[in-house]
Amino acid sequence: MRISFDERFDLPVKEVFSYFETPRDWTRLYGLAGRVEELEDGWFAVPLRRFPFPLVARNTRVEPERLVRWTFRGFWRGEGEVFFSETSGGVTVRGYEEISVRWLGPLSPLVEKLFLERLFRSIWKLGWSRLRKAEQARAAGG
């Protein structure tokens, strides 16, 4: 499945980038469903709510405050990318995540559509909601 996004926040690019800097930072965006485990060679096992298997991910390219690209291994396969564009008073975050279940082969698209797509979209929605709350707190002077 592919999830694309184009979101704008009235926050400094540095602050938004910090949520994506490494897979360990993703839990600040999505919430903690367990302890992130640091593996070898820059890989991280990131637990997700309602999923029995963590996202095992590592960044493949990082350009500070501009771009983060990552890949998955293990149970999941795929990749993702976020691109940060500084705007007047804020930042636009554009990107995508392609993720599927590695061992389901041709059945993966059906399982994704029936069971996983809504959950992954809700995870991203939660992350955007957390950034909106940070945006509101900043606007309120907090």
Tens of pLDDT, residue by residue over 93-131, are 999 999 988 877 788 778 788 878 888 898 899 999 999
Give yes or no for residue 67 having a pLDDT over 90: yes
Give the chain's domain count.
1
Give the E-state strand segments of the chain in sequence order. 2-9, 37-38, 44-46, 55-63, 67-73, 76-87, 90-101
Quote the pLDDT of residue 32.
63
Domain that residue 102 falls in:
2-139
Residue 21: CATH number of its domain: 3.30.530.20
Give yes or no for residue 88 having a pLDDT over 80: yes
